[in-house]
Amino acid sequence: MQGERAGEVFRAFLKLGLTAFGGPIAHLAYFRTEFVERRQWLDERSFADLVALCQFLPGPASSQVGMAIGLSRAGFLGALAAWTAFTLPSAIILVLFAYGITATAGVLDAGWLHGLKIAAVAIVALAVLGMARALALDRERATLAAVAAGMALLFPTAWGQIGAIALGGLVGAVWFRQGSPTEHVALPIALSRRTGVIALLAFAVLLTGLPLLAAITENHAIDLIDAFYRSGSLVFGGGHVVLPLLQAEIVPPGWIGEDVFLAGYGATQAMPGPLFTFAAYLGAAMTPFPNGWLGAAVCLVAIFTPSFLLVVGTLPFWEDLRRQKLTQAMLEGVNAAVVGLLLAALYSPVWTSGILDPADYALGIAAFLLLFMWKTPPWLVVALCALAGGLMDLLPVP
């Protein structure tokens, strides 16, 4: 039974791994459409609470939400299936790109890639509308969402996002504590607290022990694992924030050139799935061994391992916490703040990178209409926008 469910999880996330363009905020919109509305694997409140939890954890929030959904659906096999299916498509493409970077660099300017960015505008706009209806309906929550959006836009760093979420939790504890406890559907997480403690201890041991092991052994493979594990452990705010961390770790020692590093990062923006698959490109493109396919696998596993350990470590305690009145009040505020973060992301970087002229605006409206009124599957809207972007590039509209 669990094996069948893991297969179901794999197929669902593989579709998303092939079609979920637009970065981590857009991924959450795809997840909500697929798992809350379409498959109904969890309810709106549970999904929002998962998003809130993963926003607090370091690492790629969308991938962590995916792991948690897979874990609740099919145990450890489900978590592994969700991560593998969501990550593998873009990782494979980026490794191939690393092998042929000079021959394929021109593809980054293709019109169909811009069409994908326009599709992300419509998808995120629909997610903002849906989450605002569920989580920011009254004046207080809508105001909190607006303040959080303003903070994220005025302070466009991970600290701006963390500050908005912390403010949401604080305001929620004051404003929403008087209400009655909110009923929700419990997540079927079959993990013991002992398992959670072991996972958290493993996270801490690896974070502190790998640098010591690297210093003692002076082995490049250990250095590589240490660099990518630390980057995955210490980054808040998603894939864009990991860029300076990785750059500081691998460019100065000469493992990879600056131009090759930046070319790969540009290619990663055009990929579906998590931005952390940039690690696969770096592992493949590096000069010292391990590189190629082996280096890609080492770096990819190393950068995502902290996320897996943190999700497994926190979920066994999550249900008890979210039943508490104070926790629920704080989550009310955090969820409203997350709506604000999504609203801010709709403007920057999604809108500012996708809508550049009136033709882009018209295509964005058409995409939103297909999603909102015609209930067109997101993957089909993505494909149509890519096709339209390619045509617009061939036949520029004045």
Mean pLDDT of the chain: 81
In which region does residue 294 sit, left (phi positive, over 0), alpha (psi from -120 to 50) or beta (all else)? alpha
Q: Which of 126-130, 247-251, 359-363 has the lowest mean pLDDT?
A: 247-251
Q: Does residue 300 carry a pLDDT above 90?
A: yes
Asked if 367 and 121 count as a contact pair (C-beta separation under 8 A), the reply is yes
Compute the distance between CA of residue 267 and CA of residue 300 in angstroms, rounded to an integer.
16
Residue partners of 248: CB distance under 8 A and separation at least 6: none
Cis peptide before 349 (omega within 30 of 0): yes
Total domains, the chain: 1
Helix axes 111-135, 378-394, angle to 10 degrees: 140
Query: Among 192, 231, 232, 225, which residue's Cα sits nearest to residue 313?
Result: 192
Residue partners of 85: CB distance under 8 A and separation at least 6: 9, 10, 11, 12, 13, 14, 16, 17
Q: Does residue 102 carry a pLDDT above 50?
A: no
For residue 108, the model assigns a pLDDT of: 46
**pLDDT classification of 11: cutoffs 50, 70, 90:** very high
For residue 240, the enclosing domain spans 1-398
Give the whole-number percent of the chain exceeding pLDDT 90.
20
Q: Whole-prediction pTM value?
A: 0.71
Mean pLDDT of 264-268: 69
Q: Does residue 132 carry a pLDDT above 70?
A: yes
